[in-house]
Amino acid sequence: MKTNLLNFDLNGLTEHFAQMGEKPFRAKQVMRWMHQSGAAGFDEMTDLAKSLRAKLNDQAVVAVPDLLVSQESSDGTRKWLLDVGTGNGVETVFIPESERGTLCISSQVGCALECTFCSTGRQGFNRNLTAAEIIGQLWWANKAMGVTPKNERVISNVVMMGMGEPLANFDNVVTALSIMLDDHGYGLSRRRVTVSTSGMVPQMDRLKEVMPVALAVSLHASNDAVRDQIVPLNKKYPLKELMAACRRYLEKAPRDFVTFEYVMLDGVNDKLQHARELVELVRDVPCKFNLIPFNPFPNSGYNRSRNENIRIFRDVLQQAGFVVTVRKTRGDDIDAACGQLAGQVKDKTRRQQKWQQIVLEQRGSL
């Protein structure tokens, strides 16, 4: 079987080339071709010796997942559905803002952690994405938006907030992060690449050592009783341990705060007492808050908090001195909001059927 070079970061590719009897600078050249010029074949890599191109054609491929669907929302949000085999798809979302462009990427097909308010979690776990499939999402987004090394950087930020728990797919995610940060890859700043985790404490410690990018933690509750209910992983790593892990992470983090994500679920975690408890909980952890009004999906059993309650909650945090943002829902008309990303065959919701219909319609036109 041919080796997919998109699975390597620069170190891996350099090693691979050494085994082929090739010099390290060749690995750099090929990295730039693949990730900066969007090359998917070796014949395009015109500054490689003909003999090397022939050897690569023989032994290797640059295999990105197939693009199934590309959609654009009326607010400029874009979404791509990529084929990751056996009927599975993963979604990638691009959110343009005035000062930056953020790409939200997936790390797994489904997720095993079963947070009760998350559509991905409800679908169960299918498999980890390979490094090629993770970085392939950036590759496609750049390609679809016509990004070249010469024009302006359209994607300035990457957040691993799509489908899956990135730290449960540690090695492949770290390889993909390494390519994102590499000057021969996407050249992104550590501060502008964010891993979001539901709180896998040992892996947070490992990430801090090997690839300390910006960190977002899905907190969602102010005490263990509530968090045990909605984020089952909390039973394994309760809040006290999670807070300590956040503090340790900050010793190496590229930013001097952790972002706490907090989904606003009506009547579950959005009361005044919860806001006050939250202020106490995070007292020793430099942080910002991102309140996410719950995005509904069929049969979720939850409702979005009332706007008035979100405002009160935000005010309590702000008055305690925290920076708080309330996430605006973007891409509503293309179901691109957090927790709404589709993807699996197992998902039998109406949305999935809608997707399948779009896939079938578009397949003809691609």
165 touches ligand SAH (CB under 6 A): yes
Distance CA 180, CA 253 (A): 17
Strand duo 125-128 + 108-110: pairing:
antiparallel
126 touches ligand SAH (CB under 6 A): no
* Annotation says 338 is catalytic: yes
- List the end-to-end C-alpha distance of the chain, in Å, as a whole number: 28
Bridge partners for 195 per DSSP: 160, 215
State the binding partner of 88 from ligand SAH, ligand SF4, none, CB within 5 to 8 A by kind: none
Catalytic residue among 15, 246, 338, 361: 338
Q: Is 111 annotated as belonging to a binding site? A: yes
Nearer to ligand SAH, 161 or 258 (CB): 161
Minimum distance from CB of 251 to ligand SAH (Å)? 21
Nearest residue to the partner ligand SF4, using Cβ = 121
Percent of the chain as helix, strand, coil, to the nearest 5: 40, 20, 40
Q: Is 223 annotated as belonging to a binding site? A: no
Catalytic residue among 91, 104, 133, 261: 91
From its phi and psi, is residue 299 left (phi > 0), alpha (psi between -120 and 50) or beta? left
Q: Is 35 annotated as belonging to a binding site? A: no
Non-local CB neighbours of 114 within 8 Å, separated by 6+ positions? 121, 122, 124, 232
- Which residue from 129, 213, 338, 342 is in contact with ligand SAH, where contact means CB under 6 A? 338
Distance CA 147, CA 280 (A): 45
Distance CA 244, CA 237 (A): 11
- Reported as half-sphere exposure (CB side, CA atoms, 13 A), residue 208 has a value of 20
- Binding map of ligand SAH across residues 167-196, x = CB under 6 A, - = no contact: -----------------------------x
Nearer to ligand SF4, 162 or 331 (CB): 162
Distance CA 259, CA 337 (A): 18
The type of residue at 258 is: V
Minimum distance from CB of 172 to ligand SF4 (Å)? 16
Nearest residue to the partner ligand SAH, using Cβ = 339
* Annotation says 287 is catalytic: no
Minimum distance from CB of 193 to ligand SF4 (Å)? 18
Which parts are annotated binding residues? 111, 115, 118, 164-165, 196, 218-220, 295
Catalytic residues: 91, 338
By CB under 6 A, name the binding residues for ligand SAH: 115, 117-119, 161, 165, 196-198, 218, 261, 263, 292, 294-295, 338-339
